[in-house]
Amino acid sequence: MDNFLIGLFLATLIISIFTARLYRLIFWYFVNSLMLGLLAVFIGIKVHDNALIVSGAITLVLKALIIPYVLKYLSKKFHLQRQITPNIKVHYSVILIPAILVFTFFIAEPISHMLQANPNDISISISSLFLTLILMMEHNHVAPKIIGFLTLDNALFLLGITATNGMPMLVELGVFFDILMAIVIINLLFKDTGVKA
């Protein structure tokens, strides 16, 4: 079951790299966070870690509901450009993404021997880190870059869950707080660039 959720996590990430519409990108971010939250709750139940269940539930509420809603609200309010064509053409992405995946899968192999965790979880979360970097690289506008940044946070959270079977609760809450601050800053950024972006 957790393999299934991790698979959907990576699948939504890959699809969001190919997306050329802003609202569609926000939707894929929503699905991505939903899978992450469900995974955290699922692993929390499996290893009987209440803190992980709580942080999974917070992820579900915050990242899967509030942040996509706020992003969509802001982009409507500032009339952001909804057509966001990636700089990297799809033909190149088709080669680039498998290359990155193979590369990170082989890189992650020694790391996963060091940690006592499921090797595929770690490799998939590291490869999704690299993929979010591509998502941030391939767009010129502010909004998709911000979504890339938020997805990067999702990938880090996934790494935290799977590598250590649950980060300390305090760290999690700190990360969430950072994200909330980021949303406030994003609001300011949107306000400045909203007219021309």
Partner 1 sequence: MILYLSTIILLVVISPLLLSFITQIKMFITFKKPISIFQGYRNFSKLMSKETIISEETSAVTRVAPFLILSPLLTVLFLLPPIVKGAYYVSFVDAFTITGLISLSTFFLMLLGLDSASSFGGMGSSREAFISALVEPAMILTVFSVSMMAGNLGIGQAGVNLASSFPQKHMASFLFSAISFFILLIAENGRIPVDNPQTHLEVTMIHEAMILDITGVYLAIVEMASSIKFIIFASLFASLFMPFGLQFSVPIALMIFIAKLLIICIAIALLEASTAKLRLFKVPNLLGISIVFAFLSLITFYVLGA
Three-class DSSP category at 82: coil
Q: Provide the Cα torsion 29, 35, 39, 42; round to 10°.
A: 140
Calculate the dihedral angle through the C-alpha atoms of 49, 55, 58, 63, rounding to the nearest 10 degrees. Answer: -130
Least gap, CB of 76 to partner 1 (angstroms): 21
Q: What distance in Å separates the CA atoms of residue 42 and residue 4, rounded to the nearest whole number?
A: 11
- The neighbouring-strand residues paired with 133 are none
123 touches partner 1 by CB under 8 A: yes
Contacts to partner 1 from residues 4-63, by CB under 8 A: 4, 6-8, 10-11, 14-15, 18
Region binding partner 1 by CB under 8 A among candidate stretches 23-31, 98-106, 151-159, 176-184? 98-106
Check residue 119 for interaction with partner 1 (CB under 8 A): yes
CA distance 127 to 146: 19
Query: Total residues at the site for partner 1 (CB under 8 A)?
Result: 27
Q: Is the dihedral of CA 89, 148, 83, 191 positive or negative?
A: negative
User: Residue from 81, 120, 165, 193 that binds partner 1 (CB under 8 A)?
Assistant: 120
Q: Does 105 bind partner 1 (CB under 8 A)?
A: yes
**Residues near partner 1 (CB under 8 A):** 1, 3-4, 6-8, 10-11, 14-15, 18, 90-91, 93-94, 97-98, 101-102, 105-106, 109, 118-120, 123-124
